[in-house]
Amino acid sequence: MGLKDISLKVKIIGLVVGCLLAGGLVTGIASISFIKSDAFTIATNYAETTVSLVTGHLEHMALSTGMPSAVKDFIDSHEGRFKGVESITVLTTEGKNIIDRERAVEDIALINKVKESGQKAIRTTKESIIFYNPLINSAACANCHKDRPERSVIGVARISISTKDAQSQLIYRVKVVLAGILLGLFVLTLILLLAFRIAIIEPMRKLESIVMNISEGDLSFRPNIQWSKDEIGRLTNKIGKALRDISRIIERTVAISNSIMKTTNEVERESKKVIAGSKTEAESINKLFQSIEELNKSASEMAEGSSRLIISSERAAVSSSKMAVNTEQIAQNTIELSNTIDSASSSVEEVSAKVKEIAQRAEELSMSATETMSAIEEIDSSVKEIESNTKESARLSEKVTSDAAAFGITSVEKTARGMERIKQTVQKTAASIEKLSRRSEEIGKILNVIEEITDQTTLLALNAAILAAQAGEQGKGFSVVADEIKDLAERTSMSTQEIADLIQSVQSDIKDANAAMSEGITTVEEGSQLTDEAKEALWKIVESSRQSTEMASVIERATYEQTKGVSLVRDAMERVRGMSVQIAAATSEQSKDVSMIIGATEKVREVAVYVRNETIEQSMGQKQLFESVENVASLLQEISGAINNQKTATDNILVSVERIKSLPDDNREIAFHINSDLRALLSNAEILMTELQRFKLLPESKGEVLKIGVIPLCSPAEMHKRFTPLAAYLSRRLDKTVELKLEADFAGTIKDIGEGVTDICYMTPSTFLKAREKYGVEVIAKALREGRPFHRSVIITKGDWKINSVTDIKGHSFAFGDVHSTSSHIVPRAMLKDSGVDINDLSFYGFMGHHDDVARVVLSGEFDAGGLMESVAERFKENGLKTIAYSSDIPEFNICVNKDMPEDEKALIKMALFNLNVDKPEDRDILQSIDRQYTGFTGSVFEDYKGVKAMMEKFKIGVNI
């Protein structure tokens, strides 16, 4: 057993005891030696005192008696009288005992030393201290010891003091001290051991056991918070934390491998189904193959039959075509005959027609002759009318001519002459006015001159006045004259001004008159021009009436001749009419004969036509027959072709089917492969599971860590994101580490809260009820959706789908969320039931898991309809989701706690949840992170969920979890 194998405890004890022993020994020895030397010194001091006393007595005795016998008595009497004095001897300087001179010389070396130095000497033996005190030859002594020099050493008093008692006392003390030290050491060692045990060994042992447990897979270690915060404490805590993390990892791994196993099982089941399916597939393909083969056979038979049919129909066609040729020849001959008769008949008809035409023409001629006659009559009468009218107009124009010449022209000419006179008069007046105007202008000019002169006069007068003023008194008379001149000038100026004004008005009058005159002249000129024009017009009238008179007489003559012409025409027409009547009579007789001929030919033709029609019909029938035979042949050909095609098609199908036949085998093989792979996977997963089950995982802490479970409404990642703010908030409020636990499914969530893996959990109503039923989980709060503690389920379908009400869903597919979900399964199912749609009425249904998935499969068309929470449906509304029904209120999702949670902690969590205020921005973020419509939490009790419980019981959901 080497040093390595010794346990830590033994090592520590050994070390401690060794150290203590060594320390004790050193201390003991040191203290004994110190005490010893101290005790010796003290003893020596005490002995010295005794010795000096004894010596004094000796000297005194010697002086008082001077007899050695006295000394002897003294010694005898004093030996043992002083405590510790062992013996008293007086020695001479030669070492002789003065009492017993016979004794051998003793201690001569020390005596000599004393004698020389005059000082006492000390010798120690084991059990005593021996003092050699000098005896000095004092004045008193010299009486007896005259032979000795004064103050010399005459003898030595040897006093032996026993140290035995002191020594034994000392040894006793040392023993006591040593015993004390040893006792102390022992106690100390014990204390140390205890301390080590508590501080290190115990924790270490615990750690050891923990690690042992860990190595055996037990990870359920929980570091005790009371542990010290030293290295071991910290180490333990770290290990605890690491274990917790590992636990979480393992949990997740377990969950994952669970789901792997589940999935693998499912896949295996599925692949089994695939194998079974492919078997059936192969069978049905075989059947199909057989039927196709049969079909092929029958098609071959049909093809054969149809070829035979074609041959026979072809034969029929040939014979019928021969027949047709013969019939056609007959028909042709008949047609030729008919044609000949036709041409004869037509020539007769032509003749007849011509005769008829002539008759018609003659009649027409007669008629037109009559018409002509009447027209001519009309012409005649109108000509006569014209004649009389012309005569009248000739007379009238003649009268016009004479009248115009007689009155019009003369009066017009008179007017013209009058006009001319007016013009001349006006022109004369204008000239005189012009003259007047010129005159007045001249007067104006003269006035200007006068004014000029007046102005100058005034100026002169003023200048004179100025001069007069400057001249003073002398100029006074002159000034008066100047003033008068000026006044005159001013008066002149004024009257000139007046004249000027008058002339100005006259001139303006003249100007007006002038303007009037020239206007008059232009008027007169215009009048005279008009008169000329009138005259001319009058002349033109006279001329034209003269011409019309002439014309009228010409017309008169012409009409007369015309009348004569008309009479001639009338006579001619009369003759024409007579002739045409004769022609008509002749032609009518001719027509009668022609009619007879026509009747005869008509009969002949009728016969010919009959014959021809008959032959044509026969030929037609023959042709039809031939054509139908031909049709039959071609149809047969087509059928044959089709049959042949069918046959090649079936052949192809056969080949394909042959190939398809091998496919299920391949599939089966693949499925088998998959299956074996799966089995391998499954066994691996199982191994992993058993491996993992070896770990006894840490049951979730009570106290320092609060674990929140969250029901997986949508993907776990999304749920984690949604609840992270709430977890942070609770951590802050409760001053605890809050961990979110991701749940993979509803069942796991229920199990975790029930078994205390999670402390609190966000749950749906139905999961809460199940958790309560199974684990006694308690509800403490429910969420408020837009201020109300309720939400609704909806039934959705795709926007463009034909389903418009819940009853329409019958016979369609339906998607639910999780089987444990209230709003995506239980309530929608109840809604279906209430509308008379049993779950068995659906073509099929499925559980999609999350609400989002329900929305997605309905949108993608995998399912016709689905049931989910209203808020999720709202989110997908813009993608084309249609809501067709809403449920009644369902209590909102809630916060549940494990049944073992202490009341005070429940109260704290409740307080924290109820304190969330949607009006505070930071709290609103927390709430809306969970659900956009959440506005807070409120208290809740089991009674809120009784309605859901009833529904669940109705559908027998949640019995087995």
Query: Which region holds residue 936: left if phi is over 0, alpha if psi is between -120 and 50, else beta?
Result: left
Q: What is each CA distance from 926 to 464, 473, 913, 929, in whole angstroms?
A: 122, 126, 11, 5
Task: Please report how close the Cβ of residue 467 comes to another protein at its closest, in angstroms.
Answer: 8
Q: Quick one: DSSP state of residue 777?
A: -
Cβ proximity to another protein: between 106 and 490 the closer is 490
Determine if 470 is a binding residue for another protein (CB under 8 A): yes
Q: How far apart are CA 70 and CA 677, in angstroms?
A: 132
Cβ proximity to another protein: between 380 and 483 the closer is 483
Terminal Cα distance for the chain, rounded:
59
Cβ proximity to another protein: between 324 and 465 the closer is 465
Q: How far apart are CA 44 and CA 50, in angstroms?
A: 10
Is-contact 521 493, C-beta < 8 A?
no
Q: How far apart are CA 643 and CA 801, in angstroms?
A: 44
Residue type, 877: K
Buried b (16+ CB within 10 A) or exposed e, 887-921: beebbbbbbbbbeebeeebbebbbebbeebebeee
Determine if 463 is a binding residue for another protein (CB under 8 A): yes
Q: How far apart are CA 701 and CA 724, in angstroms?
A: 20
**Residue range at the interface with another protein (CB under 8 A); choices 49-57, 305-313, 476-484, 638-646:** 476-484
Residue type, 888: S
CB-based contacts of 585, cutoff 8 Å, min separation 6 = none
Determine if 620 is a binding residue for another protein (CB under 8 A): no
Cβ proximity to another protein: between 26 and 466 the closer is 466
Cβ proximity to another protein: between 374 and 456 the closer is 456
Determine if 494 is a binding residue for another protein (CB under 8 A): no
**Residue range at the interface with another protein (CB under 8 A); choices 369-377, 478-486, 537-545, 939-947:** 478-486
Cβ proximity to another protein: between 459 and 537 the closer is 459
Task: Please report how close the Cβ of residue 437 comes to another protein at its closest, in angstroms.
Answer: 27
Task: Please report how close the Cβ of residue 476 comes to another protein at its closest, in angstroms.
Answer: 10
Q: Quick one: DSSP state of residue 698?
A: P
Q: Quick one: DSSP state of residue 945?
A: G
Cβ proximity to another protein: between 473 and 903 the closer is 473
**Residue range at the interface with another protein (CB under 8 A); choices 482-490, 507-515, 663-671, 769-777:** 482-490
**Helices (H) then strands (E): counts for the chain:** 17, 17
Task: Please report how close the Cβ of residue 483 comes to another protein at its closest, in angstroms.
Answer: 8
For residue 445, what is the enclosing H or E element? helix 409-471
Structure tokens at 309: 């049919």
Site for another protein in 443-462 (CB under 8 A): 455-456, 458-459, 462
Cβ proximity to another protein: between 114 and 464 the closer is 464
Phi, psi of 694 (to 5 degrees): -60, -30
CB-based contacts of 537, cutoff 8 Å, min separation 6 = none
Is-contact 730 706, C-beta < 8 A?
yes
Residue 160, beta-bridge partner list: 87, 130
Cβ proximity to another protein: between 46 and 478 the closer is 478
Q: Give the 3-state secondary structure of residue 222.
A: coil
Task: Please report how close the Cβ of residue 465 comes to another protein at its closest, in angstroms.
Answer: 4
Determine if 496 is a binding residue for another protein (CB under 8 A): no
- Measured from the Cβ of residue 58, the count of other Cβ atoms closer than 10 Å reads 22
Applying CB under 8 A, among 26, 183, 325, 466 the residue interacting with another protein is: 466
Cβ proximity to another protein: between 358 and 462 the closer is 462
Task: Please report how close the Cβ of residue 468 comes to another protein at its closest, in angstroms.
Answer: 8
Cβ proximity to another protein: between 501 and 638 the closer is 501
Cβ proximity to another protein: between 483 and 905 the closer is 483
Task: Please report how close the Cβ of residue 481 comes to another protein at its closest, in angstroms.
Answer: 13
Site for another protein in 322-351 (CB under 8 A): none
**Residue range at the interface with another protein (CB under 8 A); choices 290-298, 408-416, 463-471, 801-809:** 463-471
Task: Please report how close the Cβ of residue 447 comes to another protein at its closest, in angstroms.
Answer: 15
Task: Please report how close the Cβ of residue 470 comes to another protein at its closest, in angstroms.
Answer: 6
Phi, psi of 317 (to 5 degrees): -65, -45
Q: Give the 3-state secondary structure of residue 720.
A: helix
**Residue range at the interface with another protein (CB under 8 A); choices 35-43, 236-244, 465-473, 543-551:** 465-473
Determine if 485 is a binding residue for another protein (CB under 8 A): no
Structure tokens at 353: 């027609």
Angle at 131 between CA 84 and CA 43, to 5 degrees: 50
Determine if 484 is a binding residue for another protein (CB under 8 A): no
Site size toward another protein (CB under 8 A) is: 15
Binding site for another protein (CB under 8 A): 455-456, 458-459, 462-463, 465-466, 469-470, 473, 479, 482-483, 486
